[in-house]
């Protein structure tokens, strides 16, 4: 059974009960767990002696007109899934535990976070880095696992950990997809049936650009055009960005070299915003 810890003091007391040689793996989440999250739990389970997850819908990473209030919170189902995955402990703090009245310190990453989702969601990554550093300070894991679907989030957290000497190894878990290619996301539950039917075009657009790259196209702008054109075939999708970027800095790439590139897309289906990405290299 997964032990539920609701306060920072409870997590720290639980942490002290672990033996010094036991490794601790951590999977931070916002809940509404799906098979993508479960694959991260599995990675942690395989690598660590003890596994802790967190569920915290972090208000600091939502913009004023985003979906904070309607974000799904199926907590009983989530707890059951964590039990099935043999996760040892769950940190489930109330908002006031992480953001007490008067909290006025934040963590800023100022390069990688400015691109892509950082440009379309101002303040989002400031919220992510702040809460993730807090969670790392509370849980003190040996490593933490994040999903590659949020490729930019992985890069921002890796940069923060490097720059601030945080003694936590960051591990990326691969994207998990539905049979038709749609990347698993807690937000997929918002999709109306017609939008759900249209959504695989996002992955299809990434694959169209990958096919062109595999056939020898190396011009970043042309590869992005190919991806955008494939996405535009699905009239229900409103793209926010479709970009070919450096896999580390996220800066635009004119010519894709052997180090490869990240193809990254964000798009709206109705009021739901979805992201996806694909890396090419070689």
Q: Which residues bind ligand PAF (CB under 6 A)?
A: 28-30, 58, 61, 128, 131-132, 150, 153
Chain-centroid distance of CA 56 in Å reads 14
Question: Cα(25)–Cα(139) distance, rounded to whole angstroms?
Answer: 10
Crossing angle between the packed helical segments 124-139 and 151-163, to the nearest 10 degrees: 60
* Beta pairing partners, 245: 252, 262
| Burial (CB count <10 Å: 0-12, 13-18, 19+), residue 280 | middle
Quote the least distance from Cβ 186 to ligand PAF, whole Å. 8
Question: Cα(5)–Cα(1) distance, rounded to whole angstroms?
Answer: 13
Closest CB to ligand PAF among 29 and 253?
29
Quote the least distance from Cβ 98 to ligand PAF, whole Å. 10
Quote the least distance from Cβ 61 to ligand PAF, whole Å. 6
| Burial (CB count <10 Å: 0-12, 13-18, 19+), residue 65 | exposed
User: Could you tell me what percentage of the chain is helix, strand and coil, using 3-state DSSP and rounding each to the nearest 5?
Assistant: 40, 20, 40
Catalytic residue ranges: 37
Closest CB to ligand PAF among 25 and 28?
28
Closest CB to ligand PAF among 150 and 243?
150
Quote the least distance from Cβ 15 to ligand PAF, whole Å. 19
Start-to-end CA span in the chain (Å): 44
Closest CB to ligand PAF among 93 and 227?
93
Quote the least distance from Cβ 166 to ligand PAF, whole Å. 14
Structure token digits, residue 29:
């989440």
Closest CB to ligand PAF among 144 and 191?
144
């Amino acid at each position: 059974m997964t032990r539920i810890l609701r306060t920072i003091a409870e997590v720290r007391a639980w942490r002290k009960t672990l033996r010094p040689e036991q490794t601790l793996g951590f999977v931070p989440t916002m809940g509404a767990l799906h098979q993508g999250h479960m694959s991260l739990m599995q990675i942690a389970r395989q690598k660590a002696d003890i596994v802790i997850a967190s569920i915290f819908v972090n208000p600091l990473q939502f913009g004023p007109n985003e979906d904070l209030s309607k974000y799904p919170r199926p907590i009983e189902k989530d707890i059951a899934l964590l039990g099935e995955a043999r996760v040892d402990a769950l940190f489930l703090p109330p908002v006031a535990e992480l953001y007490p009245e008067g909290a006025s310190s934040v963590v800023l990453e100022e390069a990688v976070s400015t691109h892509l989702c950082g440009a379309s969601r101002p303040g989002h990554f400031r919220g992510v880095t702040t809460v993730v550093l807090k969670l790392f300070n509370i849980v003190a894991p040996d490593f933490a696992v994040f999903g590659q679907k949020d490729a930019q989030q992985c890069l921002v957290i890796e940069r923060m950990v490097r720059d601030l000497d945080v003694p936590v190894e960051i591990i990326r878990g691969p994207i998990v997809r539905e049979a038709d290619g749609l990347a698993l996301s807690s937000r997929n539950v918002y999709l109306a049936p017609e939008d759900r039917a249209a959504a695989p075009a996002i992955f299809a657009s990434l694959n169209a650009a990958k096919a062109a790259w595999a056939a020898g196209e190396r011009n970043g702008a042309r590869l992005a055009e190919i991806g955008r054109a494939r996405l535009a075939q699905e009239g229900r999708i409103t793209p926010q960005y479709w970009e070919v970027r450096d896999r580390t800095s996220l800066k635009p790439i004119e010519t894709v070299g052997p180090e490869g590139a990240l193809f990254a897309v964000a798009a709206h289906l109705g009021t739901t915003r979805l992201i996806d990405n694909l890396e090419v290299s070689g």
